[in-house]
Chains A and B, each alone.
Chain A
Amino acid sequence: MIGVNNVSLSIDPGEIFVIMGLSGSGKSTVLRLINRLLEPSSGRIIIDGQDITQIGSKKLREVRRKNFGMVFQSFALIPHRTVFQNVEFGLEIQGVEKKERRARIMDVIEAVGLQGYGDLPVNQLSGGMQQRVGLARALAVDPEILLMDEAFSALDPIIRNQLQDDLLEIQERLNKTIVFVSHDLDEALKIGNHIAILRDGELIQVGTPQEILGKPADEYVSAFVQGADRSKVLKASEVMQTLRISAHPKDAPRVLLKKMERSGFNGLIVIDNSRHLLGYVDLDTARQYRDQDNIDPSVYQPLETVAPDNVVRDLIQLAHEKRTPIIVLDERQRVLGVIDKSSILAALAQGDEEDETGQASLAEPVSAADIGG
């Protein structure tokens, strides 16, 4: 019987790589081949230039101790031990002195949000808490690579979501290479930098969440992604439009009115020469100050701003509440683009069309929208 056949993956350091598939697709097998819990019949596993399949059992143990942390679907905690004793398991195996372990373990326990639970036996904890222990145990050895086998699949949706958020937050700080096996597409889209889709032990597609959604390799993948929630994947930078027309703080109100008339917008975004956001002037304000030389910055309306990699899902509420556009700023606070209700709708709607045609790419910015509501 063949578990996986000719699967070739390249995983970048510091990314979350999700291996996806239905049960029996071989996704967990692939994960176990990486640290040789299962022996491959052929092929290579190269980590930092070293072929793991070529090393002897002693060296393999060394590599497992130093380079890998693993998290399991059923948590796989040692039932008679406390939280603290479970977290220290990896260091204990390495033979680290008890005194040295303590500080490290306290750090990790805090990092996963288990402060104060250290002395409880693990079987008294809820599933979500137990998996935090599992995560802490894996992190305690400070591995380069974290292998997570359906780590959140046994948890109920709310807890699962919470742990996904926590994992992303921890990842932000620690920057591990994470290989995450999942059968949940929403989970894969949410946490994955890259996703590999497996079926019957064969690799069907590898790509970013956008690529998987936008260009499904075949019917199988497109059936898979049909039900996905695009708003969790699309980022602000992908639905925003470039600022084609804007106001300068020195523009007289009459100039602003002319600009609005020409563009058809009933408001303008004011930016300075270095593209820093100053505020928003709407049609009524411009009319009110029609006879003055310019408009005082104190009457500019403030605008909501977001980062380019905020997901659209988080913007929907914002766009719904505000009549004014949402500004996308880069890390130096300069205006990158602008988003409003209709640009979000257009992006989500276009996604639906793509499901049917399977052609266009979501990565292309949306073009038609009326900025300024």
Chain B
Amino acid sequence: MYHFPEIPLGHWVSTWVNNLTANYSDSFDAISSGIHTLIAGLNEALLAIPPEVFILLVAVMALFSAGWRRPRAWGLVLFCIVGLGLVWNLNLWSALIQTLALVLAAEILVLIIGLPAGILTAESVWAARILRPVLDIMQTMPAFVYLVPAVIFFGLGLVPGVIATTIFALPPLVRLTSLGIQNVPEELIEASEAFGATWFQRLWKVQLPTALPSIMAGVNQSIMLGLSMVVIAAMIGAGGLGNQVLQGITQLDVGESFVGGISVVILAIIIDRLTQSLAKLHKE
């Protein structure tokens, strides 16, 4: 029986990554400092708000986004106050803010990359054909695999955490943006053409607003996926609530990791309800 030599795929990838590190370290440093500025700024700005004021602001946002006349909105307000109060009480406030900053920074990157990518895949069949397998890889490749090159490129700390989170959280926004734009009725596109709209006018005044509920669902999904990455991000030194969980795991301290975990859940539920309410608010 003929023996096929093993294809040195792993070796190729290692060489490629090494070459990238050697030749493009300046660009990686630039990206790294840019992202670091973003997340540090977010972190400081959010930490500058006293916890009681922050909780109040979140409660007010919940009230208005969910519609203050509805009992559901008041339930959400109560949850925000009790949930965030609990996190504060557990001495996890700065960890919470750090995690929030991480997720928000990643979400900003997701929006910057994901919206144009979503529009592109909706407009061009070729772009869709090329991007679909890339998105599949991003969603299914185990995060640890790209965590290592992220650390090699950007060092330990927050930045590779943000990047890994961005990679993992990007696909749903691209997919749902593309879907939303493709689902805009054909006659609506014809109408904007018939009235002499330019490509950009059609996109900005007709397609994006009509696709907004779908795009908001994408934002919601990507934030949720981002939050699911916090523990993994903590493994490369991103800190935050993930660190709490990680410490609990390494010390086999169930209580400590539960406290971190429940804080992540509280944050996730609040962000989820807020973004969903905002999407509904727009629909009405």
Contact = CB atoms under 8 A, between A and B. Distances in A.
Contacts of B250: none
Contacts of A74: 185, 187
A228 B81 CA distance: 70
A152 interface: no
A65 B210 contact: no
B191 A70 contact: yes
B12 interface: no
A89 B195 contact: yes
Interface string B177-195: 0000000010110111111
A3 interface: no
B195 A65 contact: yes
A309 to B, nearest CB: 32
Interface in A47-97: 61-66, 68-70, 72-81, 89-90, 92-94
B182 to A, nearest CB: 16
A175 to B, nearest CB: 21
Nearest to A81: B209
B10 interface: no
Nearest to A65: B196
B194 A68 contact: yes
A147 interface: yes
B123 to A, nearest CB: 17
B137 to A, nearest CB: 35
A98 to B, nearest CB: 14
Contact of A80 (B190, B194, B209): B209
B60 to A, nearest CB: 25
A90 B192 CA distance: 8
Interface string B181-219: 000010110111111111001000110011010000000
A141 interface: yes
Interface residues of A, number: 31
The SS class assigned to the B binding surface is helix
Contacts of B284: 121
Interface in A165-222: none
Contacts, number: 68
B11 interface: no
A37 interface: yes
Nearest to B282: A80
A35 interface: yes
B283 interface: yes
B112 to A, nearest CB: 24
Nearest to B212: A80
Contacts of B201: 93
A121 B284 CA distance: 8
B150 to A, nearest CB: 39
Contact of B206 (A37, A61, A78): A78
Contact of A89 (B193, B198, B205, B212): B205
Contact of A72 (B190, B197, B198, B205): B190
A79 B180 CA distance: 14
B194 A37 contact: yes
10 tightest A-B CB contacts, nearest first: A65-B196, A64-B196, A76-B187, A70-B194, A76-B191, A61-B196, A90-B195, A72-B187, A76-B188, A93-B197
19 contacts: A61-B196, A61-B197, A63-B196, A64-B194, A68-B195, A68-B196, A70-B191, A74-B185, A74-B187, A75-B187, A76-B187, A78-B205, A78-B209, A80-B210, A89-B191, A89-B192, A93-B196, A93-B205, A147-B194
Interface of A: 32, 35, 37, 61-66, 68-70, 72-81, 89-90, 92-94, 121, 137, 141, 147
